[in-house]
């Protein structure tokens, strides 16, 4: 008896590949801050994104956004004009609200 593999191979058609637009939409959803979705490797990195260029502060669009701002001093300052201090759940912290 001779068995032919033709019908079996025809039934096992390759799954259609997603379009580039679908891949781009998935990438934007999975990595909203840029980067590339990565496959899980030995149970690690499942669903995480590898940072895009500039992910660690190298992005030219973000570089220097704080130029001219004073250095943080970690001290409470008075509320700006047009706001008033409101109680806060954090002891020692004041929240300024319009008023």
Confidence check: pLDDT of 84 > 80: yes
Residue 76 lies in a domain: no
Please check whether residue 37 is in contact with residue 26, taking contact to mean a CB–CB distance below 8 angstroms: yes
The count of domains in the chain is: 1
First-last CA distance in the chain? 92
Residue 92 lies in a domain: no
Residue 38 lies in a domain: yes
User: What's the rounded Cα separation, in Å, for the pair 17 and 10?
Assistant: 18
Please check whether residue 96 is in contact with residue 85, taking contact to mean a CB–CB distance below 8 angstroms: yes
Range of the domain at 40: 19-53
Please state which of the ranges 11-25, 43-57, 73-87 shows the lowest mean pLDDT: 43-57
Overall pTM surpassing 0.85 (yes/no): no
Confidence check: pLDDT of 79 > 80: yes
DSSP-based three-state secondary structure for 30: helix
């Amino acid at each position: 008896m001779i068995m032919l593999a033709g019908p079996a191979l025809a039934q096992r058609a390759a799954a259609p590949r997603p379009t580039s637009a679908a891949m781009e939409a998935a990438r934007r959803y999975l990595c909203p801050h840029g980067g590339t979705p990565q496959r899980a490797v030995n149970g690690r990195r499942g669903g995480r994104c590898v940072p895009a260029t500039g992910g660690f502060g190298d992005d030219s669009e973000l570089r220097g956004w704080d130029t001219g701002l004073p250095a943080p001093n970690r001290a409470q300052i008075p509320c700006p004009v047009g706001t008033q201090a409101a109680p806060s759940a954090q002891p020692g912290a004041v929240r300024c609200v319009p008023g």
